[in-house]
Chain A
Amino acid sequence: MAERLSRCLWYAVLLITAVYLAMLDWSSVLSTNVLDLLPADKNEETWVVQQMATGSQGRVVLGVLEGPAAQRERWADGIVRDLEGSGLFVQVLRLDRAHGFTEPASIWWEDRFALRFPLWLSAAASDGGVDPSNLDELVLYAVERLEAFYEDPGYTAFEGLVPGDPLLLMYSGLLNWMETGLAQRFAGAQGHTLFWLEQKDSPFSEAGQGIVLDRLLGIPGLWAAEDVALRWRFSGAVSFATANRTAMQREITRLNLLIPLLVIAVIGLSLRQVRILIPVVCVVLSGVAGASVATVLLLGQLHVLTLVLGSILAGVAADYALHLLARNGSLRSVNKPLLIGVFSTVIGFLVFLLSDLPVLRQMAIFVAAGLIFAAVTALVLSLWVAPVPNRRASSVSLPDIRLKASWLVPAWLVAVSGLFWLTWRDDLSDLEYPLPEVRLTDQTVRAAFGDDGAQVPVVVFAHQRDTMLHRMEYLLTAIEPAGPVGPTVDVWLPGSVQIAFTRQWLEQHAAPFAQALYHELYQAGFDPEAFESFFADWSTFVEAASDPAYFDAAMDRFQYSLNGPLAGLYPAANTGQGLHMTTLILEGADQQELLDKLAGLDGVLRLDTLGYLNQLFSRYRVELWIFSAIGLLLLTLVVVLAYSWRLLPWLVGLPLATLLATLGLLGWWLSAVNLFHLVGCILGFCLALDYGLFALTCKQLSERFPRSVHLSAATTFTAFVLLATSSIPAVQALGLTVALMVLLGWFSSLMLFQQFTPSTESIRNLNE
């Protein structure tokens, strides 16, 4: 009765799990963003990098229209209208059109005194050699600059600004902008029109992928009916995310179809019947379902990579069913090693919950919960599903592996010596499906935007705007003679010292300066009356500048108005986090020298998102080793408690030797290994331990070598060899390592079975 009740209870749990999974909104739960696998806001640097990758800049799509100028001119505005009308983008800018930047330009104009006058005053002293308190000199400096402006036929397009700006506050800022060459980039190379698009939804969300990509791909349809020679290209996170998601889904579907087919074939050939497959599939499905529900409930998200790594779970869960249903003898020969195996593996994986790396935490919960679900289902099923009779028992004999230590030990030593050649290289791109075509398009599009790979984008950040400006100034001094190739934020923003000086100067000289300027303009042949708007605005400025918050408010206003590529120079969204950030692009003849110089500067970070994240990721390899060691210790403790410390060399020592041999072989075989080889080793260790436990228990009970171990090893090996053929480097690494570990683990369990002689005491313990 109790047995039936518990069985019903478990079925109810499985039913609820299935219903919960069916009702989940998978588009929001399932993530493909590699950044979700990394720790959030651990330190400022990490936060800055993540912000640059996932903030509004991460939603940018760069577009390039190539072709004859007249045709581009005709269709470029159509592209803007089409994309604006789609409602999928919050910004659609044609970079060669000034009117895309109307808002920042108008704010800059309105606040020109707050944003530029402190810099003008400072430049008068430093560049003009003028004493700002000597008003005669100062106004002469101003008027000479104005005369020089009128002598330059190339720049009089800005003449219309002059009546409101005889000090050329705007013009000098614009000059700086032009001289840095970014304006040239915006204009686009010959034959190109550049577009800057910002998606409304994240490219890592369902809403920000397919529909957006379709719209962008559909652009050539605008002119399809006409005979035009235009070519539209674009690139952004959406291209990679969508292509990656599609390719990953295709890959996972392929593996999910092939692996069960092969496993069925192996089981069918081994047992000559396939009815066992039904409970095996039930156990695996319940394990995956329980794992998914637990992960979503506890973490609110399930990364697609966890599902891939979850193949670990499927491999082990299938083993539980096989051990129970393909056992040679009584349930007793299986129960204890099964429970110890589950318990030790769960503990081993739960240790990863202590990690800061979300990918490890997800994997810990997913595997641990899934194993518990699978084991309970397997045990419940074993109560009413009869084991498969061993029809081939009489005809099958164990391979004779009574190996001589004389060559087994040297063979192991040779394998292990590969550890000396083992090099580590963690690359986040291993997590993604290789997309050479998308990458090539990306390079082409970026090249059109002036990114030829020779520049070094740098982020300067600090909690105070002033500190940020100081750091940037220091950076530009430190990297002399290499300089910025793009405009820097100090074109717009004065520092606190300049603001304080300006305030003080205004208190003493504001009114007489205006009078002296009026007079000097007249003397130089100008008509002072034409500058009426300037003098009116000057009075307003002088009055407003007495407010202590005036300058900061103007800078904030300007920062929030920035759009398009300008927003990337001084991202406004970051102030909420207490950090001011600005980006600048540096160019140096010797990039390595440049990077060495950057390395020693506080609050300066090279904007190499992938490189930085790789570095961050590799830090967690150390963490993985530490937690693996802790897991191993706990596992050892479980074995000691469940069996005896005398069995440690057999139960823990052999899997450990297997692990070292596998790593050694990988060292011989591969040029570099990564985090996923290590994860494969951990899984392989758990499997090898399980094989050892079952072999040892059967030996103690004087039963035959458990055929479930053969079967488990064969199915797991088959499944992981198939994973090793994956195009995703991370899955490939995992598949190869586990396949090797399973092979060696199976071999070591055979060795254990044949070499181990159980003591009377251990047999008594087992019977107890």
Chain B
Amino acid sequence: MIPTKWLLWAVMLWLGAATCDAGMDAVLAELPVRSKIQAEFEEFRHSPARRLPGRFSGIMRWDAERGLSLEYQRPRQQWIALTPYGSWRRTPDGAFRPLPSGGDSEVWTRLLFDVFAGRLDLWQESLEVRMHAEGTLAMRIELMPVQGGELAGLFQSMQFEVLEQQIRAISVRRDQRNRIEIRILSVDPQPQWSVEEQAAVFGPQENE
């Protein structure tokens, strides 16, 4: 099962916003230490500027010690590594450069920093459970900004679709025309990575 908090974190980072290691630490501290997961994903970005959503797909890798690596394969190869030691973008020559901080506005960036700093109290949760006829259990977790909170007006909601203890889809909605939908296509719960692969995937680590 993919931990909800991790996905929440991943989603926030998918938004492309800047990160700060402080926030990362706070979130990482709450994640299960055992996890090492690899999953294929498909992502649709709905933007007010485009009539059709942008489609991305790739592989995500999670290592409790090293962090999260997103390998986008389409529409073009792109690596992003979000680790407790920093956030990186891998350049075509294999070098890791820090992921740019900043955002489309100063307020947007500041609020995201606060989220990464672990201020999840700005969200209110709701849970919807459905039992299907064939006996499978489906859940929908929805996070909405607390009314009057700092995030109110910036996000409408985040939704996690869970089926048979696996998160299958995530949706982040800023407004009607600005949202991201992620579908988890397949999950390898026990991936094996070589040391070289780990270095190439997760980027610089403090202890190296």
Taking Cβ atoms with an 8 Å cutoff, the residues of A that contact B are 68-70, 72-73, 96-99, 102, 105, 150-163, 166, 174, 178, 181, 183-184, 187, 190-191, 525-527, 530-531
User: A102 CA to B105 CA in the complex, in Å?
Assistant: 9
The reply on B104 being an interface residue by CB < 8 A is: yes
Interface positions of B from 102 to 124, Cβ below 8 Å from A: 102-106, 108-110, 113, 117
Taking Cβ atoms with an 8 Å cutoff, the residues of B that contact A are 14-18, 20-26, 43, 45, 47-52, 54, 56, 70, 72, 75-76, 78, 80, 85-86, 89, 97-106, 108-110, 113, 117, 206
Asked if B102 contacts A174 (CB within 8 A), the reply is yes
- Which residue on chain B has the smallest CB distance to residue A162? B49
Specify which chain A residues have a CB less than 8 angstroms from the CB of B75 in the assembled complex.
151
Asked if B103 contacts A98 (CB within 8 A), the reply is yes
- One of B48, B50, B110 near A150 (C-beta < 8 A): B50
- One of A163, A166, A184, A526 near B51 (C-beta < 8 A): A526
Q: Is the interface of A mostly helix, strand, loop or mixed?
A: helix
Asked if A161 contacts B104 (CB within 8 A), the reply is yes
Specify which chain B residues have a CB less than 8 angstroms from the CB of A154 in the assembled complex.
16, 78, 80, 89, 99-100
Known: A70-B25, A161-B104, A526-B49. 5 other contacts (CB 8 A): A97-B110, A151-B75, A153-B70, A187-B101, A190-B21
Asked if B50 contacts A158 (CB within 8 A), the reply is no
Query: What are 27 A-B interface contacts by the 8 Å CB criterion?
Result: A69-B20, A73-B20, A98-B18, A98-B103, A150-B45, A150-B50, A151-B75, A152-B76, A154-B16, A154-B80, A156-B15, A157-B16, A157-B102, A158-B102, A158-B104, A159-B16, A160-B108, A161-B104, A166-B49, A174-B100, A183-B98, A190-B85, A191-B206, A527-B48, A527-B49, A527-B50, A527-B51
Asked if A69 contacts B99 (CB within 8 A), the reply is no
Known: A98-B106, A157-B102, A178-B100. A526 touches B50 (CB 8 A): yes
User: A183 CA to B102 CA in the complex, in Å?
Assistant: 10
Asked if A98 contacts B109 (CB within 8 A), the reply is yes
Asked if B104 contacts A96 (CB within 8 A), the reply is no
Known: A96-B101, A157-B102. A70 touches B26 (CB 8 A): yes
Specify which chain B residues have a CB less than 8 angstroms from the CB of A156 in the assembled complex.
15-16, 45
Closest CB pairs A-B (n = 3): A160-B104, A73-B22, A157-B16
Known: A151-B54, A152-B78, A160-B108. A98 touches B49 (CB 8 A): no
User: A159 CA to B15 CA in the complex, in Å?
Assistant: 10
User: A105 CA to B100 CA in the complex, in Å?
Assistant: 15
User: A163 CA to B80 CA in the complex, in Å?
Assistant: 25
- Which residue on chain B has the smallest CB distance to residue A95? B101
Asked if B48 contacts A153 (CB within 8 A), the reply is no
Specify which chain A residues have a CB less than 8 angstroms from the CB of B86 in the assembled complex.
187, 190
User: A286 CA to B131 CA in the complex, in Å?
Assistant: 103
Specify which chain A residues have a CB less than 8 angstroms from the CB of B14 in the assembled complex.
153
B9 to chain A, nearest CB (A): 15
User: A150 CA to B51 CA in the complex, in Å?
Assistant: 13
User: A155 CA to B100 CA in the complex, in Å?
Assistant: 8
Asked if B49 contacts A163 (CB within 8 A), the reply is yes
User: A591 CA to B20 CA in the complex, in Å?
Assistant: 35
Asked if B48 contacts A530 (CB within 8 A), the reply is yes
